[in-house]
Each structure stands twice: as structure tokens, then as C-alpha cells.
Amino acid sequence: MKLVLGLGKTGFSIARFISVQNIDYKIADSRTNPPLLSKYTNEFLKSSPTLGAWTLDLLTGVDEIFISPGIAQNESIVIWAKKQNIPIVSDIELFSRFAKAPIIGITGSNGKSTVTQLLTQMIADAGIQVAMGGNIGTPALDCLNDKIEYYVLELSSYQLDYSHHLNLIAGVVLNITPDHLDRYQSFKHYTNSKLSLHQHCQHLVINLDEPLAPKKANAKHFGISIPEQADDFGTVTCHDTYYLLKGDDILMSINEAQLIGEHNTRNILAALALGDQIKLPITSMIQSIKNFKGLEHRLEWVAKKQNIDYYNDSKATNAISTITAIQALMHKHQNIVLILGGIAKQEDYTLLFKLINKSITNVVLIGQSIQQFEQEINTNTNHAKTMQEAVNIARSMINNGAILLSPGCASFDMFDNFEQRGQEFKEIVKIKY
């Protein structure tokens, strides 16, 4: 008997998959009204989920647990299962058991969605059947298809925590910065979670600019510097412009890419290195880079109206993401109004506040973090209770330059998720201004 823990998108995907495989299971959720309850009961008429606080008898007769990534390792059901030596695995590991095509894994504190989608586009543009999933939106098990030639998976630290036996042809840990520290005992534990991806990869890609990623002699490397090896990827600067390199060969000017910012230069290099590991043609990958517009809610250019560029970076839910967005736009705009705030994470925002105090003249604060952030920001601040009010105030502060929504916080105090936050910002910009 298998036990599926969690009745959200991942748990539902697991239940549907193992039902098709005729695997006997039961499903449980600690919430009394999980988000997909009605959909589940309508589709699985003979299976009644167990809801409410975890109980020890859930483990009776269970030989393996398939777990949703939102369930932390310190929850009672996980602790009880470990004491009884019941294996606990992610949907990613379950997916790996059944996938017939090579799998590429991408993780990191920031940039993993961009790299995942760019690499997927590179593979598709090369005429290869590819599927993308995991943490990026589509559950991995929903991607399984015998026609697929490559799978590209975005992997969160939560998914890696419960993945012990994966078979990845290639993978990368893009970067590691403090995040999700409410979930981990320490930053070291979070770091170890990210780096665990390495043990599952046949071919590694290593970011030379990430000091926490151990260097590997047999890996392919990338970084913002001239490559030391002929097969590595990097850059050279000429007249204030980055040129992408493979070894000594110039591939393109970064100005030809639609993605902006040094962080996106690293994302592009990571995708190139991964694509090179699976022998994608360089010329095809370069054309994919030039055509790639980036992801929604990731430093997404929305519109230019009355000499003001509007950027939606709602995906920025931690300090380093907002720092990265500000630094990217500083090269294009002298005047930036920042919309900041939400539910602050348990991380150090000191570097963000220093950057704001030095480089941003006007900030609009939203959400639960208003009082906390205002104490640390010395520049001009205003408060807004709604996104509409935030955009109105930001617009009144500037005649030319950029308005940047990059909250640096979670969204759940005002919105269902970061997507809703970003979508509301875009609709206000497009309709009103």
C-alpha cells in the first residue's frame, strides 16, 4: 500500500498516475479543505481522502510514501515514517523510475525558471521533442510521454529533499543564496539540499561565480569571465559590452539578447553549457537566445508609456532577486521607483536596504512588511494598501525612467500567489496608463 501525502497539484498528479498504474494507495492531507478536494472526489469516486491533523495510524500497512514538496521534514507524519523506516520519495523520483528519455535537472535559488524555459526552447528549436515540468508549473508525472526525447525539469530544494535516486543526464546548481530558511535548520542545510543534485548527474555544469558550488574537474563550467577551457562558456568585455564565448570563440554580443542584466547573462551561459552537454548545435542555441523573450513575472517589460518603462518582477520573493532586478535596470535607467513589500522572509535584507538607500530615490511599500522595511529605508517612502494605489503613487513620483514591481517578499498577504500579484500590476499599467 502506498500513501500519498498532500492533496494539492503534486499530490493530485501522483494519485492520478499511480491509479493508471493500478497501484494500491490512500491519500491524506493535514488540511480539512485542501485546494483540489472537490476535483479529486469527482474524479476518484471510490477513494476518500483522509483529512485533518496527521495520525499515526495513517502509516498502517504502508510500504512507501509519495510526498508533496510543501510538507516539511519536521512534520510529525514524516518523523513517524522515518522512525518506521518507511521510504519517503518525491514525485520527481517516481517520475525518474518511469521516464524513458534523458532528464536534465536545473536548480538554484534564482534563475532556474528562466534557464529551464530557455533550454527547453533551445532543444525544441533544434527539432527535438522535449517536455518541461517540475517546479515550473506542470507536475513532472504529467509530462510522461513515449514520444519525448528529453525532459527538462526545474527542481526545488523541497523536491530534492525527497529525491534519493534520480537518473539525470545533466544538471546544474545555478546559485545558492539564503532562502526558505523557515524550512531549514540553517543555511548550510539549505545549501546541502541544493548541492544534492550533483550526486544524481552523469554530466555536471558548474557556475564558476558561485563559491558554494564545488569545482569539478570533469564538469563543464560557465561564468562572467574568459573561459579557461576550450569547452567552457564565459564572457569577454569590450567597450562596456559582454560578448559570449565558448573557449576563445565569440558567439554573440549580449546586446543581441532580449534578456537584460548580468544575472540573465549567467542564465544564458548556463543554458548554453547544458545544451552543449547534450550536443545541441551552437548556431541553433544562439538563435534561440536571440528570440527568447524571458518569462512572465521575471523582470518582464510590460509597457513604455509617457517616457516611463514598467517592469513586472513579481517573481522576486526574496532580497537577492530584488537586488538583481535593481542592478539590471540601473544600467538602463537613472530614475527608478520601486514597489516593494509583502510577507518578508526570514532572511537578511541588509544588502537590499543598502542598495535602495544608495540608488533608489522613491519606494512604494505594500503588505505586511511596511513597518519593518520603513525602519531600514532612508530614501523617500510611501505606503499603499492596494496594487492600484501603489502604481498610482509610483506614477506620481516620476516623469521619466522606470517603475519596477520587485517585492522581495511572498505575496500571500494580499494575493493568492506571485502570478496574481504580477498580473494585477500588468493590467493596471495596460488599462490605466
Question: For 365-384, what is each residue's pLDDT tens digit?
Answer: 999 999 999 999 999 999 99
* Residue 48 DSSP class: P
CA distance 118 to 268: 8
Contacts with 134 (C-beta within 8 Å, 6 or more apart), sequence order: 92, 116, 140, 153, 154, 155, 156, 159
Mean per-residue pLDDT for 348-368?
A: 96
Mean per-residue pLDDT for 358-365?
A: 96
Instruction: Residue count of the chain, please give it.
Output: 433
Q: What residues pair up with 220 in beta bridges, in sequence order?
A: 205
What's the CATH number of domain 93-291, 3.40.50.2300, 3.20.20.140, 3.40.50.920, 3.40.1190.10? 3.40.1190.10
Q: Give backbone dihedrals phi and psi of 303, rounded to 5 degrees, phi first.
A: -170, 160
Instruction: State the span(s) of the chain assigned CATH 3.90.190.20.
Output: 300-432
239, three cell numbers = 567597450
Chain segment 201-252, per-residue pLDDT in tens: 999 999 999 999 998 888 999 999 999 999 999 999 988 788 999 999 999 9
Any idea what the Cα angle at residue 142 is, between residues 181 and 100, rounded to 5°?
Answer: 100
- The neighbour count for residue 389, using CB atoms within 10 Å, is 15
385 class by beta-carbon count within 10 Å (0-12 exposed, 13-18 middle, 19+ buried): exposed
89, three cell numbers = 520519495
| Conformational region of residue 179, where left means phi above 0, alpha means psi within -120 to 50, and beta covers everything else | beta
pLDDT at 87: 97
User: Is pLDDT of 24 > 70?
Assistant: yes
Top-tier CATH class for 2-86: alpha beta
pLDDT at 433: 63
CA distance 315 to 411: 9
77, three cell numbers = 507524519
Residue 292's nearest CA partner among 119, 81, 75, 38 is 119
Chain segment 43-83, per-residue pLDDT in tens: 987 889 999 999 999 999 999 999 999 899 999 999 999 99
Q: What residues pair up with 310 in beta bridges, in sequence order?
A: 303, 403
| Beta-strand pair 201-207/168-173 | parallel
Give yes or no for a contact between 279 and 117, defined as CB atoms under 8 angstroms apart.
no
On average, the pLDDT of the chain sits at 94
261 vs 78, residue with greater confidence:
78
User: Is pLDDT of 401 > 70?
Assistant: yes
CA 68, 72, 78, 79: dihedral to nearest 10 degrees? 170
Share above pLDDT 90 across residues of the chain, in percent, rounded to a whole number? 88
User: Is pLDDT of 37 > 80?
Assistant: yes
Residue 232's nearest CA partner among 201, 272, 262, 173 is 272
Give yes or no for a contact between 294 and 258, defined as CB atoms under 8 angstroms apart.
yes
CA distance 374 to 85: 49
Query: Collapsing DSSP states into helix, strand and coil, what is residue 255?
Result: helix
Q: Which residues are catalytic?
A: 112, 135, 180
pLDDT at 216: 84
Chain segment 126-161, per-residue pLDDT in tens: 999 999 999 988 999 999 999 999 999 999 999 999
User: Is pLDDT of 273 > 90?
Assistant: yes
CA distance 90 to 172: 19
Separation in Å, CA 184 to CA 154, 156, 181, 191, 192:
20, 13, 5, 10, 10
Mean per-residue pLDDT for 298-326?
A: 93
Amino acid at site 207: N
User: Is pLDDT of 122 > 70?
Assistant: yes
User: Is pLDDT of 91 > 90?
Assistant: yes
CA 21, 26, 32, 36: dihedral to nearest 10 degrees? 10
User: Is pLDDT of 188 > 80?
Assistant: yes
Within 13 A of 138's CA, how many CA atoms are on the CB side?
14
Q: What residues pair up with 336 in beta bridges, in sequence order?
A: 402
The CA radius of gyration of the chain, in Å to the nearest whole number, is 23
CATH architecture of 300-432: Alpha-Beta Complex (3.90)
pLDDT at 124: 98
Instruction: State the span(s) of the chain assigned CATH 3.40.1190.10.
Output: 93-291
Mean per-residue pLDDT for 163-182?
A: 90
User: Is pLDDT of 182 > 80?
Assistant: no
Please tell me which of 134-143, 172-181, 274-283 the model is most confident about, judged by mean pLDDT: 274-283
233 vs 321, residue with greater confidence:
233
Contacts with 375 (C-beta within 8 Å, 6 or more apart), sequence order: none
Amino acid at site 355: L
Mean per-residue pLDDT for 306-315?
A: 95
User: Is pLDDT of 432 > 90?
Assistant: no
CA distance 87 to 63: 7
Instruction: State the span(s) of the chain assigned CATH 3.40.50.720.
Output: 2-86
